[in-house]
Every structure is written in C-alpha cells, then in structure tokens.
Amino acid sequence: MENKQEKILPPNETRYNDLTGVISANLNEDFNEFAATLAGYNPERFQAVAVKVYIANSPIVTIYAYDRGRESNGDNLPVHKYKFEIPFDELFTRFKEINFTLTKGDVDIERMEVINK
C-alpha cells in the first residue's frame, strides 16, 4: 500500500557550490529499528524522526530521536542527537534502495524534455 500522506521535507541545507538535490530511500527494516540499532538507544523510549548523512572520507551519521517520555514545550520537539562515524558497508547494506537527483540549480529539471528516447 502506497503512503499518500503529504511529507514534510526539511530545508535544503548545503554549503557546496557544485550540486544540490533531493534524495529518497527505502530501508530493509523499520526506520526506528534502523536508528536504534545504529545509535544504540532504546526504541521503546525514543522514536527516530530524522537521519543526516555526511560523507567525506567515511560516513558520519547523525540521528535525531524524539524522547517519548518528555513533554513538548510549545512548538519545539525535544530530541536527542546521536552522531557517529560508520563504515560504508555497514551503513549502505541497511538500505533497500536509494534514489537521488543532483543539479547545478540553474535549470528547472521539471521542464526538461528527453529527446533521445
């Protein structure tokens, strides 16, 4: 069954000038189990809400997990941050598939027409 719920996308954060884009992924397991296994937290207490991956020499993963035992203070969501380095194979074998598109940002790629089909 396809998830029809509107996704809330994070702002595009980049400090690079070459390319920017979007990414989507499917995991081999539940997102919270994925995050709890990598970060080492109790999945009954915490709920993963975001993962950030930075790659230079080896991946640095940051997981943000909501503390279910803490009250939200207004508009803010209390989360714990777990940041760690991980080998490529250990990280990427947990993904079923990853799809991303990068662009220089000077052309609206939604307007592209492929002419060499």
Question: pLDDT per residue over 9-55, tens digit each?
Answer: 676 666 667 888 888 999 999 999 999 999 999 999 999 999 999 99
Q: Which amino acid is present at 2?
A: E
pTM: 0.81
Enumerate the domain spans of the chain: 20-98
Q: How far apart are CA 24 and CA 97, in angstroms?
A: 9
- Residue with structure tokens 């990853």? 98
Q: Is 48 helix (H, G, I), strand (E, B) or coil?
A: strand
Residues 62, 82 contacting (CB under 8 angstroms): yes
